[in-house]
Each structure stands twice: as structure tokens, then as C-alpha cells.
């Protein structure tokens, strides 16, 4: 009965793609806790205060039953005001929020046009969607424009939905948001911007790279709460009519137990922390710049320009070997392999956070340069 699953795992192992859970060991160069809030005394105090106020740990039901707590609604009001949107809707995870939006809002006659490097959550949402979908080459706005034109010429009559990330999670590069917004406006299209890795780090008050576009009727943003915000969940910021549509039509929202009210209270606290977190952001940007200079000096590698630095080595086996060598030196660095990234682009994904000092960054990059020099072609 279980043989086919065992065969599949054996195939993954033979290709160097078998995954397993591993403990957190060594200096943090793997997490998305960019501002070091996840274990901060500020969020610990917010959790304690919420519990002391009698905020429940569990919601006890879906939002449409008894699970709708005042903390959920207060968070959504705070988030809409903070990010500059008309309204917001809180989900238990960013993955769920992205999947829920794309599986619900685009209609049968619509087209979902997505960047080739869009997150797996977007793909899952598109798989469940009624609308057709098509991809365009990474960050190629002209190709996206041509795809919409070709769809219209073939009789496409609905709305186009352009799906991108503002900062890509595996390459660390940024989307051309000005051009994408102009494209969406020209084509009367929706623009869905996943701000997962930009929220808290970029934009005025940490509002993200799409801050200047928030509040437009054709713009929807996703702000995840488990990365720079240090908590958990995902916030969709969107026009109020779409929020109401999601509440009435979105199965992942209607039939799921509501997120923890205590976590909602902690996210509210995190919003205040990141708004006042210019010093944290400045320190992180300083480390990004420093790491970029060290990568050029010691590894002959160009920086991504963000807190996400890929070290692309090609084969799965090379990536896992290099990760193991860096782990042995005391750094929590993980290998990323297909299907998370395209075939032939297995890599280390190095994340820069405030959990490590500039001295530790320097030491890690020096050791990385030594290991890359030893790596067999």
C-alpha cells in the first residue's frame, strides 16, 4: 500500500531533492525574521498584555460564526489605516491569503497573468481558480502587455489580473512596480502585489515597496505577518467591495476557523513597532550594503541589493553539499532546490537579519568564499 510513496521518496533522494525537517542550529542566516522581532521583548510583552486582558488564544469557530473577535476587526482597521488601503482582511497565513484571493476573486472570463517567479501560493490559488492563467518572463512588463493584447485579440472580455511580488523571495530582486501599475491602469486590470518580503523593511514607516499604490481601486496587496513583523498570518489590503465579496464567496475564509485573537493582538503591536522602526530598518540596510561589498571582495559575487542573497551553484547536490559545509562552520544556511527554484538553479538562500551582527556577517562571507573556492565544478 505504501510502496509508491517510498519509491517517490527514493527518487527524490537519488536526485538530491529529499527534504527533511532540521533543527535551528547556528547563526541565523535562514529565517525571514528580518527585523529580529519574532523573539523580541516587545512582542513578548504584547502577547502577555493581550492574555492579561483576557484575549482568547483560540477563536473557537469561523469568522462567520462565533469566531469573529473584536481583535480581528481592530487589526483590520489598523492595517487598512497603516498601509493606506480602503479595507483589510486577516488570514491565518500569507500562503492562505494569496491562495484564497486568487481562487475566489478572478471570474471565469478573466485572465490571471503571473510573473514566472511568482510564489507557490499564487500557483495554488490559480490551480483552484475559474479563470485561465498565463505567465510572462520575470519582470518583463512588455511581455505582460503583449500577453494581455493577444488575449484581447482572441476574444478575452473579462478583467486581467497581474500577479507579482514586490521583492522576490528566492532571488532578492525587486519588481518594476511603477511600470506594472501603469500597465494595469492602461489595461483596466487588477494588480496583485505580494509584499511578503518588503513589508516592514522598505517604504515609509515599513509600509512596503507598493506603499504609493495602496488605496487604488485596481490594487490589492498582501502583507504577511510572519516575516519582518515577527508574528503569523497574512493581511489582504483591498477595496471594501472586494473584502465583502471575499467574506461571502471565499471558501478558505468561510469554512476555516478564524486566526488566533491573541496573534491578531500581537500583529497590531507589530504594526506599531515597524512604523516606529526607522532605526531598525537603517541598521538592516547598512548590513545589506556591507554584505554586498564583502561578497564582491571575497566571493566575486554581485549583491542582490536586498536582504535576500542567492548563491546559485546549479546542481542540487552541489547546493546541499555547500549548505552542509556552511552549517558545519556554525551558520544556519539552507539549500534551495527545484521545484522551489527552476531546474539547474539550486542555490543557497542567505537571509540577512538583525539576529546577526555585522562581524558575524563578515565572518560568514569569508567562510563562504573559502567553501566556494573548494567546491568542485
The catalytic residue among 33, 227, 260, 306 is 227
Query: E-assigned strands of 257-369?
Result: 308-314, 331-332, 334-336, 346-351
Q: Please indicate whether residue 119 is annotated as part of the active site.
A: yes
The catalytic residue among 28, 76, 165, 316 is 165
The catalytic residue among 69, 72, 174, 197 is 197
Cell digits of residue 290? 556591507
Q: Please indicate whether residue 197 is annotated as part of the active site.
A: yes
Q: Please indicate whether residue 227 is annotated as part of the active site.
A: yes
How far, in Å, CA of 154 to CA of 137, rounded? 21
Q: Which helix (H) or strand (E) holds 72?
A: helix 70-83
DSSP 196: T
DSSP 89: E
Q: Please indicate whether residue 138 is annotated as part of the active site.
A: no
Q: Please indicate whether residue 8 is annotated as part of the active site.
A: no
**Residue 24 contacts residue 331 (beta carbons within 8 Å):** no
**Residue 335 contacts residue 347 (beta carbons within 8 Å):** yes
Q: Which residues contact 271 (CB under 8 A, 6 or more apart)?
A: 78, 79, 82, 229
Instruction: Give CA separation, 83 vs 3, 336, 365, in Å.
Output: 50, 32, 35
Closest CA to 100 of 198, 291, 238: 238
258 Rama class: left (phi>0) / alpha (psi -120 to 50) / beta = beta
| Sign of the Cα pseudo-torsion (7, 340, 302, 361, in order) | negative
Q: Please indicate whether residue 169 is annotated as part of the active site.
A: yes
CA 255 to chain centre: 24
Q: Please indicate whether residue 218 is annotated as part of the active site.
A: no
The catalytic residue among 169, 260, 306, 355 is 169
The catalytic residue among 69, 72, 119, 159 is 119
Length of the chain: 377
ω into 129 cis (within 30 of 0): no
Q: What are phi and psi of 220, to 5 degrees?
A: -125, 130
The catalytic residue among 194, 214, 294, 316 is 194
As annotated, the active-site residues are 32, 119, 165, 169, 194, 197, 227
Amino acid at each position: 500500500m505504501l510502496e509508491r510513496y517510498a519509491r517517490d521518496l527514493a527518487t527524490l533522494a537519488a536526485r538530491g531533492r529529499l527534504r527533511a525537517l532540521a533543527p535551528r542550529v547556528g547563526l541565523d542566516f535562514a529565517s525571514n525574521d528580518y527585523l529580529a522581532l519574532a523573539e523580541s521583548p516587545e512582542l513578548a510583552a504584547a502577547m502577555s498584555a493581550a492574555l492579561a486582558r483576557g484575549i482568547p488564544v483560540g477563536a473557537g469557530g469561523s469568522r462567520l460564526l462565533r469566531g469573529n473577535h473584536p481583535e480581528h476587526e481592530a487589526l483590520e482597521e489598523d492595517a487598512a489605516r497603516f498601509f493606506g488601503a480602503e479595507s483589510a482582511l486577516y488570514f491565518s497565513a500569507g500562503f492562505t491569503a494569496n491562495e484564497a484571493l486568487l481562487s475566489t476573486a478572478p471570474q471565469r472570463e478573466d485572465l490571471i497573468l503571473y510573473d514566472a517567479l511568482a510564489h507557490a501560493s499564487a500557483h495554488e490559488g490559480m490551480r483552484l481558480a475559474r479563470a485561465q492563467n498565463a505567465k510572462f518572463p520575470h519582470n518583463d512588463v512588455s511581455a505582460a502587455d503583449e500577453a494581455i493584447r493577444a488575449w484581447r485579440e482572441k476574444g478575452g472580455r473579462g478583467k486581467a489580473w497581474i500577479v507579482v511580488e514586490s521583492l522576490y523571495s528566492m532571488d532578492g530582486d525587486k519588481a518594476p512596480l511603477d511600470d506594472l501599475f501603469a500597465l494595469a491602469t492602461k489595461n483596466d486590470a487588477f494588480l496583485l502585489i505580494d509584499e511578503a518580503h518588503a513589508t516592514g523593511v522598505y517604504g515609509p514607516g515599513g509600509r512596503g515597496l507598493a506603499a504609493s499604490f495602496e488605496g487604488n481601486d485596481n490594487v490589492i496587496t498582501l502583507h504577511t505577518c510572519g516575516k519582518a513583523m515577527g508574528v503569523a498570518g497574512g493581511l489582504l489590503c483591498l477595496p471594501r467591495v472586494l473584502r465583502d465579496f471575499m467574506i461571502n464567496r471565499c471558501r478558505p475564509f468561510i469554512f476555516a476557523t478564524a486566526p488566533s485573537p491573541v496573534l491578531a493582538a500581537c500583529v497590531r503591536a507589530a504594526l506599531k513597532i515597524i512604523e516606529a522602526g526607522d532605526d531598525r530598518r537603517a541598521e538592516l540596510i547598512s548590513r545589506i550594503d556591507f554584505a554586498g561589498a564583502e561578497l564582491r571582495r571575497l566571493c566575486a559575487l554581485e549583491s542582490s541589493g536586498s536582504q535576500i542573497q542567492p548563491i546559485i551553484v546549479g546542481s542540487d547536490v552541489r547546493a546541499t553539499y555547500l549548505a552542509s559545509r556552511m552549517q558545519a562552520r556554525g551558520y544556519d544556511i539552507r539549500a534551495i532546490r527545484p521545484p522551489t527554484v527552476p531546474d539547474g538553479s539550486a542555490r543557497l538562500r542567505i537571509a540577512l537579519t538583525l539576529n546577526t551582527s555585522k562581524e558575524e556577517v563578515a565572518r560568514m562571507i569569508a567562510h563562504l568564499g573559502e567553501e566556494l573556492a573548494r567546491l568542485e565544478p
